[in-house]
Amino acid sequence: MASEDGEVALPAPSRDGEVAVERALAARRSLREFAREPLPLAATSQLLWAAQGITDREGHRTAPSAGALYPLEVYLVAGAVSGIRPGVYHYDPRRHRLLLTKEGDARTGVARAALDQDWVGEAPAVVVLAGVYQRTARKYRRRAPRYVHMEAGHAAQNVYLQAVALGLGTTIVGAFRDEELARVLGLPERTEPLALLPVGKPP
């Protein structure tokens, strides 16, 4: 459960699953309908770790990053996640925890910002990939957007494959009104939304 200050310690991620990567690749399909079941906290933990989790003592992550600059920020829009109250949470990969940044179920607002795609708001949770371009631009200048977008693609595919391995499904969504979505999520200045991944169990 979340503490009074909104911090959620996540279960430790597994590094030894039962589904081969080849099976996950073969089974991967985009999912736009979800069972009306809460997303287990352990599964949520695993999905967030797959997106941007720390994998060694040097701080490398599950997705490759140009120059190891890590411009991505991951947020969780929790509507029906076991063990935590509805809200928008920021994922802290270094301590593998969630930090509540905005209270209340924001799924309807996210779906509206996603060009009124109602199914987005019907998932028990939405993983949000956001980017801070300046982190990469300090080294790579004009090529920064390309590298940030490549990294978001890597992270999204990790979430897809991890979802399959957990018996879940997702679909990457890039159609949304950027400023409206950033406002709904309460994103900090210079943090731009890049992709939505509604996730849940198939019906």
pLDDT score, position 2:
55
Asked whether the predicted pLDDT for residue 159 surpasses 90, the reply is yes
Asked whether the predicted pLDDT for residue 65 surpasses 80, the reply is yes
Instruction: Calculate the average pLDDT of the chain.
Output: 96
pLDDT (mean) for 48-76: 97
**DSSP assigned state of 4:** T
Q: What is the DSSP string of 24-59?
A: HHHH--B-----S-PBPHHHHHHHHHHHH-B-STT-
Asked whether the predicted pLDDT for residue 189 surpasses 60, the reply is yes
For residue 158, give both structure tokens.
């990790």
Strands 87-92 and 72-78: antiparallel
Q: Where are the domains of the chain?
A: 19-200
Asked whether the predicted pLDDT for residue 140 surpasses 60, the reply is yes
pLDDT (mean) for 65-83: 97
Asked whether the predicted pLDDT for residue 40 surpasses 90, the reply is yes
Q: Global pTM?
A: 0.95
Q: 10 Å Cβ neighbour count for 175?
A: 10
pLDDT score, position 6:
86
CA 41 to chain centre: 14
Q: How confident is the model at residue 157 (pLDDT cuts 50, 70, 90)?
A: very high
pLDDT score, position 85:
96
**DSSP assigned state of 173:** B
Asked whether the predicted pLDDT for residue 1 surpasses 90, the reply is no
Which strands form 125-131's sheet, in the order they lie side by side? 7-9, 97-103, 87-92, 72-78, 125-131, 192-200, 169-170
pLDDT (mean) for 22-28: 95
Question: What's the CATH number of domain 19-200, 3.40.109.10, 3.40.50.2300, 3.40.50.460, 3.20.190.10?
Answer: 3.40.109.10
Asked whether the predicted pLDDT for residue 28 surpasses 70, the reply is yes
Judging by beta carbons within 10 Å of its beta carbon (0-12, 13-18, 19+), is residue 181 exposed, middle or buried? buried
**Closest C-alpha among 183, 69, 193 to residue 131:** 193
